[in-house]
Amino acid sequence: MRGELVVATIAQLQPELDRITRHERRQITIDLRTLTRIDSSGARA
């Protein structure tokens, strides 16, 4: 991921996370080093 993880972009990420974990819970590692901003809605994801 890169850029911002905020209320405006979480709507794009959440469906993908839901799809990945729909059938079974998995451990997912997301590299956040290139994020320039994250707000509380992004932290919730």
List pLDDT tens digits, range 23-44.
777 788 888 899 888 887 655 5
45 versus 20: the higher-pLDDT residue is 20
Residue 45 lies in a domain: no
Half-sphere exposure of 16 (CA within 13 A, CB side): 8
Question: What is the residue range of 15's domain?
Answer: 2-37
Q: How far apart are CA 28 and CA 8, in angstroms?
A: 22
10-24 confidence digits (pLDDT tens): 788 888 888 888 877
Residue 17 lies in a domain: yes
Residue 30 lies in a domain: yes
| pLDDT higher than 80, residue 2 | no
pLDDT of residue 42: 55
pTM (global) more than 0.85: no
